[in-house]
Each structure stands twice: as C-alpha cells, then as structure tokens.
Amino acid sequence: MRYLFFVLCLAFAAFGSATAQQVDKAAVKARINRAAMEMKSMECDFVQTKHLKLLSDKMVSKGRMYYQQKNRLRWEYTAPHKYVFILNDTKVRIHNGERNDVIDTNQNKVFKEIARVMMNSVVGKCLNDEREYKVEINANTSEWIAALTPLRKNMKQMFTSIVLHFDRQRALVTKVELTEKNNDRTIIELKNVKTNHAISPNLFDIR
C-alpha cells in the first residue's frame, strides 16, 4: 500500500532557485482550470525519485503516464521494475507481472482517496478545493508553484505538504513533490508531455 502512495505524486518539487514573484491567485487558478477543461488526453514519460530519510541512497524509477477524460489514468513503471496502476472511472487495476488485482473504489475508501487525488493532481483541480488544502501560489520566470498543505485528517496522516509545478505557457503540471509525515520525499518529473493526441482505450482496460 505504501508503494501506491508514491503514484500520487503527479506533479511536485522543491521551489526553484529563481526569485519568487507575486501572482494573482484567482487568475492563475482560472488559467489552469481552462487548460484542464481543454485537455482531452495527455501522455508523457516520467522519472520518479524517492528520497528516504533514513538512507543516503535514492530510489529512481521510470515509466509512462497516460490520461484521458474522464477519470482514466494509467501509470506504467518500466524500470527498474514493471508495475501498472490503471484507474478507469470507479475501478482500479494493479498489475505487477505476477498478480492482477481489480478494486472497486466505491467499496474501498483508501483507493477512492488515492484515485481522487491522482486525478485532481494531473489536471490541477486540487487547487480549487479549499476544504482539502491550504494553497499558496508563487511564480518564477517559467513556472507557477502551488504549495498545498493538507487540511483533512486522512491526508495529514500521509503528507505534510504537496507542491505542484506548472509550466506557465501551457498551464500544465510538470513536476510533483510529496513530503510524507516521516519526512520521506517523492518527486515525479513529467517529460515529453503531449496533449490531445489519440490514445488507445485498451490502455485503460480493467479486465
């Protein structure tokens, strides 16, 4: 279960070295929301780096991500191990080569929370839910940086902070950093992002 939480990192990282700029928070949210509504599909490569507080080494994984409106998401790890997490509406499929499990998120509160956070992070919708997070937005010359502090008890038990980086030109998430309660950090960088391209529905097959 702990490994699944790493997937939630769909777009966070530490603040850039450039001087932070004041931003119009409402205007930034509106721009990100508009981009999310216009984005019918998205695919990209990702690099996930896990920093463990108790170890000097870092764990690096690579893979491919696919998103399609509405509520379809596929995280496919390709190295160093193969692992697939698929969300299709209210169903989740987990495949690691040896096991293939299908879970109904309506019957499982943990997976329902995972699915909700994953989808909202990919399209930036989590910025709108002020009951879930305290949101601070800053900017540098190339990106908007949204620092989210969880407010709900179940999220606070997992994470102390979530930071989303958005490309200012495209208003898309490019990097995610999750800081867990024990101070472990998971960073995911999204690379070679393509939007509104045709994606095979077979990629989101739950069977």
Q: Which fold has domain 2-204?
A: outer membrane lipoprotein receptor (LolB), chain A (2.50.20)
Burial of 15 (0-12, 13-18, 19+ CB in 10 A): middle
φ/ψ of 121, rounded to 5, equals: -70, -40
Q: Per the structure block, which two tokens stand in for 69?
A: 């409106």
Nearest to 183 by CA among 53, 13, 3, 11: 53
Give the pLDDT confidence score for residue 198 in this predicted structure: 93
For the chain, percent of residues with pLDDT exceeding 90:
38
Residue of 54 and 147 predicted with greater confidence: 147
Domain extents for the chain? 2-204
Q: What is the pLDDT of residue 6?
A: 45
φ/ψ of 16, rounded to 5, equals -70, 165
pLDDT reported for residue 100? 87
pLDDT value at residue 21: 63
Contact present, 132 and 123 (Cβ < 8 Å): no
Q: Let me know: does 177 contact 163? Beta carbons within 8 Å.
A: yes
pLDDT digits (tens, 9 = 90+) for 40-59: 999 999 999 999 877 777 89
